Amino acid sequence: MPLLPAGGYSGAVRVIDVNRNGTVGDYTGHGHAINEIKFHQCNLFLLLSGSKGYAIRLRNIQCHVCVPISHGSEGPRGEVISIDFDV
């Protein structure tokens, strides 16, 4: 199932099933624009998003759960420009 994640200025993330041309899920919570979105290389149900609002969110799009939000050990320090998984 090819999935396309999309996000932008509003801070919302939408995941689209390309084959069905339908939405798998809409995810809110980022307070600012989304800078990058990535699926995990091995588990395509894990979606990572980073925003201008200093936050990184990891979601399981299969069960629609967001794990704890990461702001770093000293709190927000700057916007998240890029994200990646370490496999």
pLDDT at 87: 78
8 A C-beta contact, residue 47 and residue 66: no
84: in domain: no
56: in domain: yes
Indicate if the pLDDT at residue 68 is higher than 90. Answer: no
| pTM as predicted | 0.85
Residues with Cβ within 8 Å of 30's Cβ and at least 6 positions away in sequence, in order, are: 7, 11, 12, 13, 49, 51, 53, 55, 57
Cα separation, 35 vs 53, in Å, equals 10
8 A C-beta contact, residue 7 and residue 49: yes
Cα separation, 9 vs 1, in Å, equals 27
- Mean pLDDT for the chain overall: 89
List, for residues 7-18, the tens digit of each pLDDT value. 989 999 999 999
49: in domain: yes
- Band of pLDDT at residue 53, cut at 50, 70 and 90: confident
83: in domain: no
60 compared with 78, residue with greater pLDDT:
60
The domain that contains 44 carries what CATH number? 2.40.10
Indicate if the pLDDT at residue 45 is higher than 90. Answer: yes
